[in-house]
Amino acid sequence: MRFLILFLAISSLPISVVQAKLNIAKHEYKVQLNPASFIGNISAITDKANDFLSALSKQTDGHMQILQPFDFDSQQDIIYWDVAGDCRLKEHNLILRSRFQPHKNRQEVTLKLRTQNISEINQDELFTSAHKFGHKLELDVLPQNQFAYSLSVKQKVLAQWQMSDNQVLDQMFPTLRQSLQISDKSLEKVNGLSMTERKLTEAKLLMNGFVYKDVTLSLWYLKNLQQPVLVEFSIAVPSQQQQPLPEASKMINTISMMSSWAAEQSLTKTNWVYLYQADFCQ
């Protein structure tokens, strides 16, 4: 495929060199938590989220301090799109996602490339077809020194636009269907799912003299808004921090070993949606 050219494994290059070349916007540290620990309404899950922060502070012997607790931020619906059967986007490490906020006539559509093996990206076709919306490159750091790079473009369009409509898709990403050789196919909701996401933000944490200001707890639901199916804790750090912060990596490793809070099976949100029913991708 001409729109992506993958040359060398990123792990063989210094992160500072890659950052200078690809202009990484931020590092985001992520870990999955046990959904059973966050059952209840918004007030209840906010209390439980702050209980989690207190438990984390104790686990670090007070080296992590809570400067400000979590508070409820927003709720939105999320849909993933792909070709049923061969999952052509997933096959090429691409994610297409729509976010809708209740009572708003707009949606945010994100097209994202996520891979561990990216040293150079040929943006001459797919991503530059939406160049006026700008690109953002992020480094996701996961427990046990796992990582992935995410290159994304986002557009805000009318809520009634459907990615299953090829005319809409071609207007937003003119080269996507041709590049993936799906000109004769339409996209569908992955596994027919529409997820509801609740986000808690506002928390600020202090560790080894560094204040983490971009801290988020994301809870994903199917139909029962009292019981999440996925919970993700994340911390984002601006890219001027040239290397991933050892303290932040240590923090998510610590969380992954907190048996009363960590998820037993650590699936990314995208993988969970695709694996919900095994027959969507055949």
- Say if 123 falls within a structural domain: yes
Segments forming the whole domain that contains residue 166: 24-264
Per-residue pLDDT of the chain (282 residues; tens, 9 = 90+): 433 322 222 222 233 333 335 567 788 999 999 999 999 999 999 999 999 999 999 999 989 999 999 999 999 999 999 999 999 999 988 999 999 987 888 999 999 988 776 554 444 355 545 445 567 778 888 888 788 888 888 889 999 999 999 999 888 888 888 888 888 899 999 999 999 999 999 999 999 888 999 999 999 999 889 999 999 999 998 876 556 678 888 899 999 999 999 998 878 899 999 999 889 998
Say which residue the tokens 């993700």 belong to: 232
The answer to whether the beta carbons of residues 86 and 140 sit under 8 Å apart is: no
Asked if residue 274 is part of any domain, the answer here is no
Please indicate, yes or no, if residue 73 is contained in any of the structural domains.
Answer: yes
CA 221-103-151 angle, 5° bins: 60
Residue 187: partners with Cβ closer than 8 Å, 6 or more residues away: 81, 82, 83, 89, 96, 163, 164, 169
Residue 134 lies in a domain: yes
Domain contains 12: no
128 within a domain of the structure (yes/no):
yes
Rounded-to-integer distance, Cα 252 and Cα 258, Å: 10
Nearest 5 degrees, angle CA 26-CA 31-CA 36? 145
Residue 33 to residue 258: CA distance in whole angstroms: 9
| Structural domain contains residue 161 | yes
CATH number at 136 reads 2.40.320
How many domains in the chain? 1
Helices assigned H by DSSP within 83-189? 88-91, 166-172, 176-179
Within a domain: 17: no
Q: Indicate the pTM of the whole model.
A: 0.85
Q: How far apart are CA 253 and CA 250, in angstroms?
A: 5
**Beta-bridge partner residues of 232:** 32, 218
Q: What pLDDT does residue 50 have?
A: 98
